[in-house]
Structure 1
Amino acid sequence: MTAPTLPETLARLAQLLPSRVRGTGGYKWSTFYVSSSMFEAEAIWSAYDEKIDANPLRLHLLEFALREECEARGWMWRVWAGLPGHGFGAEVERGVLTRPFEGMAEAPAHALALAMISALGGETTP
């Protein structure tokens, strides 16, 4: 099973974390923005602007915002590099001695986003 694409992942985050991630452009979102305590509405992915889409530094903004969200919820997180050519992994734990939610992808921010989506999907109370 392959991981969802970055735009698919961002679309799901926009539904689950609208205070952190939002998309514009209608049904098929064309641009995604991320917000944190340090910055507001920074574009991190665009179907139409290669300068945004091709810039991996923008993904650090997503990773920072997701780390901040985990910490605000009291959740533990970690990101690690796999063997060369095997991408990155991430875990989000919603409590001590609980099963971690995992994500694997080609970029650390994408892996953390997948783990966060999994953790949020398991959340039943705010």
Structure 2
Amino acid sequence: MAEKKMVDIYILGKKYTVPSTLTIMDSMEYAGYQLIRSCGCRSGFCGACATVYRVQGQSELKVTLACQSEVEDGMYLTQIPFFPGKKAVYDMDKVEASADTMVENYPEIYKCIGCNACTKGCS
């Protein structure tokens, strides 16, 4: 049986050695983090796990979904603060499916500046 290749990653500045076959999200759990927010569907649809990272020796800032991207050696990770910051509480059986309902529960949607980061992170 072949030995798993291990890589060094940095989560919020702290070094961890993890298997190279793990996604960023899985590597965070492997490192002992308990993910409560920003972990969403774990299938790449919701965009809740948007992550910003750089690879050691490179200046390019990269954006990806933590549930879909495998770790790279020398990866420096930080999570984007969860969005929206205030979790709306409602009963799905009692709300009307309309634009007004969305605005009432998530007024942040009108603060979109069209930077396209959500599309880049979740192609």
TM over 0.5: no
TM-score range normalised by the length of the shorter chain: under 0.3
The higher-RCO structure (CA 8 Å, 6+ apart) is 2
- Give the TM-score, by structure 1 length: 0.26
Pair member with larger Rg: 2
